[in-house]
Structure 1
Amino acid sequence: MNIYQAVTMNENDKVAVALKNIEKNSTVELMHKNGKIKVVLLDDIDFGHKFSIVPIKKGEKILKYGEVIGAATRDIGVGEHVHVHNLEGTRGRGDQVG
């Protein structure tokens, strides 16, 4: 039985959510777009936090669970922690539309 360490919920997701604390340099295997992918983490990822599963360019919209959660404030590499240091929220802002 394979125990997954992270999850995505939509085939368009650009980030996965950690289901437990995962150490930097770990290889995480998860289901995405009807298949398994492997991501080597560039940072420690705490339970409930996000990491990139695809390259994300500065200004690009970031999708989690199929929903836009914000925009990248800089380029984000695969396996990087995605949080307030590289993500600007767009929800609830009149000047930013999801």
Structure 2
Amino acid sequence: MTSRPQTDPRLILLSPEDNCLIAAARLGAGTQLEIEGESVTLPQTIELGHKVARRDLAKDDKVLRYGAVIGHVTEAVQRGAHLHTHNLESDYLPTYTHDAGHQFVHH
């Protein structure tokens, strides 16, 4: 069995295909941690539940969480950087239409 490089336990990998990790705790700017064997110093605070780049990403790279595309980065992002609305744009397209004149009736 091959061992995987060490990643700080405060970062959670939800699916092996993901290129982001989820913060299991609030991580302050300047925190040093390991991401797959590489030492990274966080450039900014990462709030609990927020995404962190698992590896370097180029502008327009798709971001995967739970193995599914959730959006793309709008600029180059380094490993350990916060992935959020300032550098991540959703690729979500609604598959429904909303008829404004239709009201649900509750019985």
TM-score by length of 2: 0.71
The corresponding residue for 2:43 is: 42
Q: Which 4+ residue blocks in structure 1 deviate beyond 4 angstroms?
A: none
The corresponding residue for 2:85 is: 84
String of CA shifts for 1:25-78, please: whole Å, max 9, x gaps: 212346x6xxx6654322100001111110011011011121111011010111
Alignment RMSD: 2.0
Query: Rg bigger for which structure?
Result: 2
Contact residue 45 and residue 81 of structure 1 kept, 8 A:
yes
Q: Matches of 1:93 and 1:75 in 2, distance apart? A: 27
Q: Matches of 1:24 and 1:73 in 2, distance apart? A: 22
The corresponding residue for 2:100 is: none
Q: Indicate yes or no: 2:28 matched with 1:23.
A: yes
Higher relative strand content: 1
Aligned residue for 1:51, secondary structure, equals strand
Q: Matches of 1:57 and 1:85 in 2, distance apart? A: 15
TM-score by length of 1: 0.77
Percent same amino acid among aligned pairs? Answer: 28
Where does structure 1 lack aligned partners over 5 or more consecutive residues? none
